[in-house]
Amino acid sequence: MTFYQVDISNKNDIDNAIKLSSPDIVFHLAAESHVDKAIMKPQNFLESNVIGTFNLLQSLLIYWEKLPQIRKSNFRFIHISTDEVFGSLGDMDFFTEETPYNPRNPYAASKAASDHFVKSWFYTYNFPIIITNSSNNFGPWQFPEKLIPMVITNASSNRNIPVYGDGENIRDWLYVEDHIEALINVCNKGQPGESYCISSENERSNKQIIELICNILDKERPRFAPHFKLINYIEDRPGHDRRYAIKPLKILDKLGWQSRYDFELYLTKTIFWYLNNTNWVKSVIMKSKKDV
């Protein structure tokens, strides 16, 4: 196995990586994904998520057309997207593959645009794509600015935990290993041109997530207990969708995938991972500040 670090907004880099790796399957997970950063610097999201995806599609189409027939027929381009492209839900609705796109922030708009480009490559060029739209992921190695690692890091260090608005915004949480297994399933069994929504149907408000983490830390790291005293409600961010939730019937019924990982058990495991990897967290945060 060889790792090539390339900038997908640079087409020459992509061409070289494809030439060196000669892929049969491409999982396209590369993306700018932090909504706060998208609000501050939307052009970065245009360049990575839209132009980067376009570059991949252009280069891979040329590569795919030259493959021998057996490799060409087995080739797959799996484009990993998000449920945020669908916008915001009311109290009782659910996202499905039939939900109209309604992005409400620059990140969601950039992912929606990339989804549309990917889909058009199937209809225009018969390029064998599959799109997945997943709910919020959590687990080890997640960037420390994301909600769950941010809360763990701040609370365990006795720092304020910022909460947007009233904390009642609801997200549908998916453990990273569940997501990986779903993507492999989609690659093996999914049909080119189709989209599949991925979720383990674990809806929690931001406030509930934070309180769960605080309760676990109260038991495991009692020095700063009660950790909920660190919660600091701040002004809500622009375009903050109220609720996301997926009903993943298609991937369950058509492909036989279902979630295997208990939410609270693997949230606890995730907490311990971050507590045991503080040096990695600090190094990533420092590098991020230098890159700004």
Which of these is catalytic: 32, 84, 115, 178? 84
Of 83, 115, 172, 178, the active-site residue reads 83
3-state secondary structure of 177: helix
Burial class (CB in 10 A: 0-12, 13-18, 19+), 222: exposed
Catalytic annotation present for 84: yes
Q: Could you tell me if 247 and 96 are in contact, meaning their C-beta atoms sit under 8 angstroms apart?
A: yes
Alpha carbons 180 and 182: distance in angstroms, whole number: 5
**Catalytic residue list contains 177:** no
* Displacement of CA 230 from its chain's centroid (Å): 27
Own/partner contacts of 4-12, CB < 8 Å, gap of 24 or more, are 7/52, 8/48, 8/52, 8/53, 8/55, 8/56, 9/47, 9/48, 9/51, 9/52, 9/55, 10/55, 11/55, 11/58, 11/59
Catalytic residue, from 4, 93, 98, 107: name it.
107
Q: Is 83 marked active-site?
A: yes
Would you put residue 75 in left (φ > 0), alpha (ψ -120 to 50) or beta?
beta
In sequence order, the 6+-apart residues with CB closer than 8 A to the CB of 123 are 193
Q: Which residues are catalytic?
A: 83-84, 107
